[in-house]
Amino acid sequence: MKPLFPRHILTASALALVVGLGHAGAQQVADPANEDVPPQVAQEAQDAAEANRPLGAETDGAVQAQVMPNSFADLAEQVSPAVVNITTTSVVSQPTAGPGFPEGSPFSELFREFGFPGMPGAPEGMPRQRSPQRSNALGSGFVISSDGFIVTNNHVIDGADQIEVEFYSGERLPAEVVGTDPNTDVALLKVESDEAIPFVEFGDSDAARVGDWVLAMGNPLGQGFSASSGIVSARNRELSGTYDDYLQTDAAINRGNSGGPLFNLRGEVIGVNTAILSPNGGSIGIGFSMASNVVSQVVDQLQEFGETRRGWLGVMIQDVTPEMAEAMGLSVASGAMITDVPEGPARDAGLRTGDVITQFDGTPVEDTRGLVRRVAEAPAGETVQVIVMREGSEETLDVTLGRRETAQGGSATGPQAPSDEPMESDVLGMSVTVLTPDMAEELGAPRDASGLAITGIDPEGPAAEKGLAAGDIITDVNQQPVASVADLNARVEEAREAGRRSVLLLVRRGGEPLFVALPIGDDQE
């Protein structure tokens, strides 16, 4: 189990059992083999597998719309044969506190005090003993095809030497890793079986609504197959990843549930149980399942290529704030503002710094997070239409996407002749001076960069209020390059004449670009 945020967000991963050489044994794990599924239902599941038909509840619209299901028993019976327990084994070499004595024991302290070889704190030069340790971890997963493809979390099988899958019937089969994607914490496994294996299918996670009933299944705390019910508590949760799109649920999810399915009432998988928010490591009703629409696309690529092949646009972006929208004359504060265009697909297609991407491949872009997901979902090498707002006009560009995993970005800063203007001026609550090659190098920019360096900030002025700081470099104002204080003043005056209340600055801080909407007031400073 790995924390995403210390003491708060935890992966719903395995209960680790560590057995060192010379130790008696480990915690007993309940036999997960079950007899809860009647023989008739088990036979129906096998028949479905033979017919290459996914398991699922045969429900109609009336059942889906009811406020409270009479029971989840029928649904649990039908989908259980496709849910699996996953046991991983790895052998690691770990420091020991002496022969047979665990680190931290009284014997460990005794031998440390007397300098036993290999003890922490032993005299310098004495060897530190290392003992092989066998580590077993437990998790969950689910079968997605009759020929034995299984989905789980990457952190469940990461670093494993052996992987064993146990089915609801008690049958155990070894599994091989087909591919993994740490970015979404998804792993695809494969088992070989002489018979077709019952499986389930992905549903549309975008169709899930807050308040919909869900059923979580898995192997919590190593106790064997288990089901818990709840509702979708929230959608589109983001924890720590670039491609995060989690469904939040109050269905009980605990350690060992990682990789298990979250079902809707039709028996479709709409999420993969991944993490919990907990102060104590147990379920408090705040669990997170990676949305099936994200997982299914990753799984398709892992099945076909054994790796992910995400699209790559090749831009740096930030959200458009209301102040930025006003400064640019936009009616709505939405889209993704391009802050930098390194060498790559976007530059080749003609996208520029300052463009606001409003549509990507026919889908409106609300913010940067949505754009990142849409680009990642698009196949590498595909040509898509990108619509941008540029200087008040809408433009459509065709971009042939690269592949994110192999993309190599370069500097987007082109050579510009610096102005020979030595004086320092106070403008809009900040002191600025023309950037020189030595100053640029000191501030982390290329020596041939041009712009204005901020040398001081009025703590009560608008620049301080917007977070600008000494050492920032202003390269563009209202999407036009500035190489002198006169350029800056001209852009500010143009904005006032146009009736705008702010100007849009493109600032580089430590080499990273950032747009800032800076209020300009009524009078020229």
Which residues are part of a known binding site for substrate?
155, 185, 256-258
Name the catalytic one among 135, 140, 145, 258. Answer: 258
**Of the candidates 241, 236, 395, 397, which has an alpha carbon nearest to the alpha carbon of residue 314?**
397
Which residues are within 8 A (CB) of 430 and not within 5 positions of it... i.e. 6 or more apart? 454, 456, 457, 458, 461, 463, 468
Per the DSSP assignment, residues forming a β-bridge with 71 are none
Give yes or no: 155 in active site. Answer: yes
Per the DSSP assignment, residues forming a β-bridge with 383 are 400
Instruction: In whole angstroms, give the CA distance from residue 133 to residue 16.
Output: 12
**Of the candidates 9, 56, 36, 7, which has an alpha carbon nearest to the alpha carbon of residue 261?**
56
Instruction: In whole angstroms, give the CA distance from residue 139 to residue 159.
Output: 14
Name the catalytic one among 108, 146, 185, 228. Answer: 185
Give yes or no: 185 in active site. Answer: yes
Which residues are within 8 A (CB) of 445 and not within 5 positions of it... i.e. 6 or more apart? 413, 435, 473, 508, 511
**Of the candidates 355, 324, 339, which has an alpha carbon nearest to the alpha carbon of residue 413?**
339
Instruction: In whole angstroms, give the CA distance from residue 267 to residue 57.
Output: 5
Q: Say if residue 471 is exposed, middle or buried (CB neighbours under 10 Å; 0-12, 13-18, 19+).
A: middle
Task: Point out the annotated binding site.
Answer: 155, 185, 256-258
Residue position matching structure tokens 């060992």:
256
Which residues are within 8 A (CB) of 442 and not within 5 positions of it... i.e. 6 or more apart? none
Give the gyration radius of the chain's Cα atoms. 29
**Of the candidates 368, 367, 396, which has an alpha carbon nearest to the alpha carbon of residue 384?**
396
Instruction: In whole angstroms, give the CA distance from residue 136 to residue 87.
Output: 7
Name the catalytic one among 155, 250, 283, 476. Answer: 155
Task: Please work out, in degrees rounded to the nearest 5, the angle formed at the alpha carbon of residue 109 by the alpha carbons of 108 and 114.
Answer: 100
Residues with a known catalytic role: 155, 185, 258
